[in-house]
Amino acid sequence: MSKAPRSATAYRDWGSDESRTSIMHVDMDAFFAACELARRPELRGLPVIVGGRGRGVVLAATYEARAFGVRSAMPMVSAVRLCPQAVIVPPDHRRYTDVSRSVMATMAEITPIVEQISIDEAFLDVSGARRRLGPPTAIGARLRAHVQKVHGVTCSVGIAKNKFLAKLASTHAKPDGMLLVPDESSVPFLRTLPVGALWGVGEKTEAVLARWGVTTVAQLADTDVATLQAAVGRVSGAHLHDLAWGRDPRPVVPTNRERSIGNETTFGSDQDDLVAVEARLLELCDQVAGRCREAGVVTRTVALKVRTNDFRTLTRSRTLDGPTDVARDLYRVARELLAAVDLRGLPVRLVGVRAENLQDRAGFAEQLTLDEASSARPSARREAELALDAVRERFGSSAIGLGAGGMAAARQRAFEDADRLRDSRHAPAG
């Protein structure tokens, strides 16, 4: 949990307008302790401290232990003195790392713009994922449900127009909550907070500001910049004044460049109808290609993953003749890979497709296939799928069905739209 002070009035409904709130901060709740409770449910409801005994320090504590004043980084001796009945659990860093990687991978499936800032928290820019997954609150709810279902731990989500506000929102949503701060509510939200809630205001700065009569964010915002600079310095004074008015220009910077983009699905019941498996594969290729276009990348390698009902997992991959971000190209290869897999007559439990060996679309010279080169419309396939993107962006991700029949019909309509657009561009003047 954030050490910054919270306001009792800040966690409330600030409105529902999500049009200018695409930044999300996800923070795992008492992460190390939650991981331990997930595999030792008999400890739920008890004060649990994760850390070494003796001269060790507290790495994490459940909210039941925090009620006694136990905090992270506190000497274990002090923690035990405050809460002698606490259950002390030694840390399992390998498990925490495994869960963290899985959660971060889930975030990367939502958007390639993920900035991990610690083992248990990250910023996401979901502006490019709206047409595929819905508004930020829907994305946040889906992520929270998935993390709890898969790992048995909870996370809190803050949604706002920038990183600073999203971080404050997640702090006030804890534990296991989600808080949206619409753009027009940013300043009213901030004015409910104590000045110590601002980034960069530690105990010393807070004491200095208090001597100048500034103890709340509202008072800080109403103080002229020159006075603040006299109190805490030229740079800090201007910075804190910007924060008090909700100004934070920093973008979400991906921690690591995404090396692959993939989607997979587990069937509700084991599937022995390969036509149905191929139909699902088509949906997955459409999703992956859309995410590639969102991220502005193309792929050179298509990978297939199949798991049969005996939990045997098979993977196959093939390098393409040229890079692409077109679903039809991915599906053609993925379907051929599926046909070549020896399923031993067993039903399919899971199928997935992944685009690997990614590169920026802007950085490559498009190489046409033989079929495309001989066609009068070499870019028709991509234009059709861009038309689908536009429909989904306008009417929502469910506007066009992703079943095999629906996909074929939708693609045909999109091709027709692309043809009309192209004809209008090349029609003779006059």
Q: Would you name the residues annotated as active-site residues?
A: 121
Residue 272 labeled ligand binder: no
Say how many Å lie between the first and final Cα of the chain, rounded.
68
Pair 17, 182: CB distance under 8 Å = yes
Peptide bond into 84 cis (omega under 30): no
Residue 27 labeled ligand binder: yes
Residue 143: which residues within 8 A CB-CB, separation 6 or more? 26, 106, 107, 110, 155, 157
Q: What is the DSSP string of 113-125?
A: -EEEEETTEEEEE
Distance CA 51, CA 75 (A): 10
Q: What is the DSSP string of 9-36?
A: TTSS------TT--EEEEEETTHHHHHH
Distance CA 232, CA 220 (A): 12
Angle at 117 between CA 113 and CA 118, to 5 degrees: 130
CB neighbourhood size of 224 (10 A)? 10
Pair 1, 34: CB distance under 8 Å = no
Annotation: binding site for Mg(2+): 27, 120
Annotation: binding site: 27, 120
